Structures are given as structure tokens and as C-alpha cells.
Structure 1
């Protein structure tokens, strides 16, 4: 494959972050197990407090970065909500090829 073709393929990839509710004992009943959201550039319809906690990690992933994940660097994260960890959310990168 020519370098121009490879560069063109890279330019046509769009990074997104998939958020999945792994565990939920949400006090408001807003989040349910296995709910999922795709983030491209704006906040999905999730709890404002949870979004404030995860946004820095989502931003890193949307911009091609990696995060500490145990003893390694990964393109994913897991966090608990600030309400005593009642909700656990996982974020992970996936790429979509633009057409």
C-alpha cells in the first residue's frame, strides 16, 4: 500500500468513545445496566455529575490518547459515579471509517 493511501485511510477514520453502564444502583433510576452511548463531540444524555467525572478521560480518548489502566496504558477507562459509586461506567475507543 502506498503511503498516500495509508494517510488517506488515517484521515478518514473518526474516533468515537462508547460508554457502557457496567453496574447500576442509580438513586434516581436514570442509569440501567448495559445502557450504552456513543460520544463523538458532545455530552450524551447521562447524569451531569457522572459526565463531569468522566469527561477528562473521554476527551483524552477522543483525541487519540491513552490512559492508565492498572499497570498498562489503554484506550479505555472504568469509573464510579460520585454518589458512593452507585454507577460504574466503562469508556472505550472505537474507530469508524468515514465514507
Structure 2
């Protein structure tokens, strides 16, 4: 299974879990992020880990960008490495 790197691009996290520039490598376990954000991005992470390319603008690519469901307070970029 491929690894996925998460990079926090922007953060106004109410809980203070995430800071801009934080990076996590996803293998088997979820990183220390809130459940709401994890539940939103996990389907994309799972797809990338299993070789999928995702819609990324006008192309297909092994990456995604997503905003936190809490009014977009956190922006995360994920990419297969």
C-alpha cells in the first residue's frame, strides 16, 4: 500500500491540533487530527493508498486539497509518495 503525505496549508483550528506547515505521513494509522477532518479526507487517502488518481482541477493526479468541515478552518493537501 502506498504512503500518503498530508500537509496543512492553512489553519485556524479551534482545537489547536493543527498548525500551518504540519506534515504527516499516512501508512497504517491515522495522524493526530480531529475526527471531523479525518472522516472527510479518509476516502481520498484510501483511494490514493490503493493507486487511484483523483480529479484535481482539469487533470487527474495522485493528490487532493480539502477544507475542514468546520467552516473551512483548516486546508489540507494530500499526495501519494
Please give the TM-score of this superposition, normalised by the length of structure 2. Answer: 0.96
SS at match of 1:15: coil
Tell me how far 1:40 sits from its aligned partner.
0.8
For residues 30 and 16 of structure 2, the distance between their equivalents in structure 1, rounded to whole angstroms, comes to 19
**Would you tell me which structure has more helix in proportion to its own residues?**
1
- Give secondary structure in 1 for the equivalent of 2:76: strand
- Gaps of at least 5 residues in structure 1 are 1-13, 95-99
Q: Mark the structure with the bigger radius of gyration.
A: 1
Moved beyond 2 Å, runs of 4+: none
TM-score of the superposed pair, with normalisation by structure 1: 0.79
Contact (CA 8 Å) 2:62, 2:80: kept in 1 or not?
yes
Report the secondary structure of 1:45's partner residue.
Answer: coil
Q: What runs of 5+ residues in structure 2 fail to find an aligned partner?
A: none
Root-mean-square deviation over aligned CA pairs: 0.9
**What secondary structure sits across from 1:58 in the alignment?**
helix
2:29 aligned partner: 42
Q: Distance in 2 between matches of 1:29 and 1:51?
A: 15
Q: How does 1:21-40 map to 2 (within 5 A)?
A: 21-40=8-27
